[in-house]
A and B are shown apart, each in its own frame.
Chain A
């Protein structure tokens, strides 16, 4: 038997291990790109659908309507990519014994979770980049300048990231990955569609308007719309950031707590 290679404990070991596991998660995505496709195809379909259903009547022309619609589609893409991937991946790993193996290794207990979340950030970036390309294909142009476009992408991704902690929490608690998907799907409709996505909230019927005004996703969409179209952002960016912080502060510790207690 070879001598035991005593691993040196180096600083930031948890970060290195998380990066190794993020690579694993991404490698799995390349072979099985379901989540990314979900995060791109669903929003793209909604874009085409709304564009040709409502384009003429809501905004006069499809080109004008695309300017209104696309930023919300972007937010939906980032939200969806996060809602499905980490939650289901974590659940699968917990259920099929992979997490047991990781936890029997001398690495941080949280490294698999952090790895998956880090990989999600890459998946959001990809989803958002592909959506921008599809938007451009349909004639969407950024009017707010490069910095504003980056800020909009950053907000969409940042919100997707903060929202994903809710799914991680659910993913740790529920029995099967299918339930995680089902819960994500059920919450998708009110969360993403009960917003200013297709039309300004002022034009929505009473009860839907009330919900859309409360729904944080509306604020993210409004903020991205203002940034991308070069119109005044008002308080939308601040409201978005506050929502991001609130979701993160509540659900990240909850998810981490549930994950590390899982036996």
Chain B
């Protein structure tokens, strides 16, 4: 029997408690096939728990979830044939080579040995790991491990892929490389659920974003919707010569229509409507021959997003003294 569903996966009213902790409190999500959903939330928001329910690893207390049209509770076998999971911590074997890791997954997916080898070689090439194929993973860098982990997810040609905070611990260059590869997945028609703590990452990769906090959905929409709601970009300028500060602040205030904040390190920060303002500001700074050592246009941080959406900082920022347990 083939169940037809337009959704890569969907959940309805998922709830899950661990003892006294409410990890999920009625989470509903739906993602069309072939799209990328960014699940954005601070540490402890319930992102990993959502993924574990969808990947058939955890039974919710109530609510339902389905993947590729199959209910995760009733047809877990069918679901497992169609998904791949790349956990928060890379789960490749340190002692084995990259190649051996991938061949093993292929064998577990019932590929004959020759085919498992072929698939492994294909994926190692695609994820730029050919040269390291025969080396034990223990010697891999963080970025290489992440890519291998991603490759391991792709062995069975999954329809839906769950990526739990894939860029944690990667430096910006490696992160861009990983983003490129994640974009490749969705170009292949794979539905992706990506969790992240960074709006920037969700913005770069996702077709739609859902923001969760304390197990509840607090906002959802396209990246553009969300940015409109939380106030778009911020410009940060650091000056070569602190003596220029007043003039530069004047320029920023004039273009952005708001007084910029001055940080201790001669940095001026002001929210702007879009990149038009950014170009306007750079042009004027140049007219006034003001030297700039750093200049950036960035999205609001997660804390700023939360402040706007809920009027309160993230719960994680609230109780930093309480150790947040990663599961």
Residues of chain A within 8 A of B317, CB atoms compared = none
Q: Which of B39-47, B89-97, B238-246, B276-284 contacts A (4 or more CB under 8 A)?
A: B89-97
Cα–Cα distance between A4 and B83 once the two chains are bound (Å): 12
Contact at A32–B108, with CB atoms within 8 Å? no
Cα–Cα distance between A32 and B96 once the two chains are bound (Å): 10
Interface 0/1 of B55-88, CB less than 8 Å to A: 1111100000000000000000100110111011
Q: Which of B4-12, B99-107, B300-308 contacts A (4 or more CB under 8 A)?
A: B99-107
Contact at B55–A102, with CB atoms within 8 Å? no
Contact at B57–A103, with CB atoms within 8 Å? yes
From A263, which residue of chain B is reached at the shortest CB distance?
Answer: B58
Residues of chain A within 8 A of B85, CB atoms compared = 100-101, 104
Cα–Cα distance between A98 and B159 once the two chains are bound (Å): 21
B157 within 8 A of A: yes
From A105, which residue of chain B is reached at the shortest CB distance?
Answer: B108
Contact pick for A96, options B77, B89, B96, CB 8 Å: B89
Question: Nearest Cβ in chain A — how far from B55, in angstroms?
Answer: 5
Cα–Cα distance between A104 and B156 once the two chains are bound (Å): 12
Cα–Cα distance between A149 and B231 once the two chains are bound (Å): 79
Residues of chain B within 8 A of A5, CB atoms compared = 111, 115, 156-157
Known: A27-B100, A98-B91. Is A103-B56 also a contact (CB below 8 A)?
Answer: yes
Contact at B110–A10, with CB atoms within 8 Å? yes
A246 within 8 A of B: no
* Interfacial residues of chain A within 1-34, with CB under 8 A of chain B in the complex: 1-8, 10, 13, 16-17, 20-21, 23-24, 27-28, 31-32
Cα–Cα distance between A98 and B85 once the two chains are bound (Å): 10
Residues of chain A within 8 A of B109, CB atoms compared = 7, 105-106
Cα–Cα distance between A115 and B243 once the two chains are bound (Å): 69
Question: Nearest Cβ in chain B — how far from A260, in angstroms?
Answer: 12
B188 within 8 A of A: yes
Q: How many B residues touch the partner, as a band?
A: 35 or more
Cα–Cα distance between A260 and B168 once the two chains are bound (Å): 29
Cα–Cα distance between A1 and B187 once the two chains are bound (Å): 9
Residues of chain B within 8 A of A206, CB atoms compared = none
Contact pick for B95, options A10, A13, A27, A111, CB 8 Å: A27
B52 within 8 A of A: yes
A97 within 8 A of B: yes
* Interfacial residues of chain A within 72-96, with CB under 8 A of chain B in the complex: 96
Residues of chain B within 8 A of A23, CB atoms compared = 104
Question: Nearest Cβ in chain A — how far from B290, in angstroms?
Answer: 50
Question: Nearest Cβ in chain A — how far from B33, in angstroms?
Answer: 12
Contact at B96–A13, with CB atoms within 8 Å? no
Contact at A104–B80, with CB atoms within 8 Å? yes
Question: Nearest Cβ in chain A — how far from B200, in angstroms?
Answer: 25
From B81, which residue of chain A is reached at the shortest CB distance?
Answer: A106
Known: A5-B157, A7-B109. Is A100-B87 also a contact (CB below 8 A)?
Answer: yes
Cα–Cα distance between A32 and B93 once the two chains are bound (Å): 12
Question: Nearest Cβ in chain B — how far from A195, in angstroms?
Answer: 34
B136 within 8 A of A: yes
Residues of chain A within 8 A of B156, CB atoms compared = 5, 7, 105
Known: A1-B188, A103-B57, A106-B81. Is A24-B89 also a contact (CB below 8 A)?
Answer: no
Contact at B96–A24, with CB atoms within 8 Å? yes
Contact at B57–A263, with CB atoms within 8 Å? yes
> Which residues of A line the B interface, CB within 8 A?
1-8, 10, 13, 16-17, 20-21, 23-24, 27-28, 31-32, 96-98, 100-107, 111, 263
> Which residues of B line the A interface, CB within 8 A?
52, 55-59, 77, 80-81, 83-85, 87-91, 93, 95-96, 100, 104-105, 107-111, 115, 136, 152, 156-157, 159, 188-190
Kindly list 5 other residue pairs between chains A and B, CB separation below 8 angstroms, not including A1-B188, A100-B91, A263-B58. A7-B156, A16-B110, A98-B93, A100-B55, A101-B152
A-B contact pairs, 13 of them (CB 8 A): A24-B104, A27-B95, A31-B136, A100-B52, A100-B55, A100-B87, A104-B80, A105-B80, A105-B108, A105-B109, A106-B109, A107-B108, A263-B59
Counting from the closest, the 6 A-B pairs by CB-CB distance are: A31-B95, A7-B110, A97-B87, A97-B91, A104-B85, A106-B80
